[in-house]
């Protein structure tokens, strides 16, 4: 398994490709398909080849998009992926909030009118794990930074969206959908995970979870 990190200089957000064999999933969506293709050498999605040679049998295949939460800097390019036929994994709350003020696009002076077709949505409500191609993720369905925050765990890697960051900082709870009590419950849950987990946040750099556990208190 390989993890590739993508950085969007406009939103200052991170997206990640988790790659195994010839398949990958994208976690959060601040990158256009063309930008991802430029960095990984092209890929196939549904029946479309992006940035590569259709005859290239070694081209990677995108198997889906995993969303950590609904905020604009994490979904700003999702419509482009959905238009290519990508399957999108999220909770019902996230899907229903994508076209509302809950996406916080106003903070970026942007409009966000993303629509994922019903047949491309995979509802993660109540699920503890998912398997996409040969990639097996455990799920933590949390909240506090938004009304629905999802952490994805694979091996000793955890993708946390904006729940926690390098240095022991945690996500804001004073915006639409935030709740300090729920955030503390989420931080308490993260504190029960192994210290050696590598944390991949929505912003800033990666770190070992145990490095900043003592600071995860609201």
Domain ranges of the chain: 2-215
Decide the pairing of beta strands 2-8 and 43-45: unpaired
- Number of helices (H), then strands (E), in the chain: 5, 14
Mean pLDDT, rounded, for 190-217: 95
Predicted confidence (pLDDT) at residue 54 exceeds the cutoff of 70 = no
The model's pTM is: 0.94
The conformation of residue 213, written as its DSSP 8-state character, comes to G
* 153 or 176, which is more confident: 153
Predicted local confidence at residue 64, as pLDDT:
95
CATH topology of domain 2-215: Metallo-beta-lactamase; Chain A (3.60.15)
CB 62 within 8 A of CB 44: yes
- Report the chain's mean pLDDT, rounded to a whole number: 92
């Amino acid at each position: 398994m390989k993890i590739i990190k993508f950085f969007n200089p406009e939103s200052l957000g991170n997206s990640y490709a988790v790659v195994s064999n010839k398949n990958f999933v994208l976690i959060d969506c601040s990158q256009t398909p063309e930008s991802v293709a430029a960095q990984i050498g092209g890929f196939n999605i549904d029946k479309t080849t992006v940035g590569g040679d259709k005859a290239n049998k070694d081209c990677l295949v995108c198997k889906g998009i995993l969303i950590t939460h609904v905020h604009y800097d994490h979904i700003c390019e999702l419509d482009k992926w959905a238009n290519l036929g990508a399957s999108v994994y999220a909770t019902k709350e996230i899907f229903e909030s994508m076209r509302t003020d809950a996406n916080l696009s106003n903070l970026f002076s942007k409009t966000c009118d993303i629509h994922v077709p019903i047949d491309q949505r995979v509802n993660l409500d109540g699920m503890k794990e998912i398997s996409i191609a040969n990639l097996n993720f455990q799920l933590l369905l949390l909240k506090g930074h938004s009304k629905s925050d999802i952490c994805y765990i694979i091996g000793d890697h955890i993708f946390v969206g904006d729940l926690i960051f390098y240095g022991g900082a945690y996500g804001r709870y004073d915006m639409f959908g935030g709740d300090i009590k729920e955030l503390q419950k989420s931080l308490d849950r993260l504190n029960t995970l192994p210290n050696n987990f590598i944390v991949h946040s929505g912003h800033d750099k990666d770190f070992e979870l145990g490095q900043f556990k003592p600071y995860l208190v609201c």
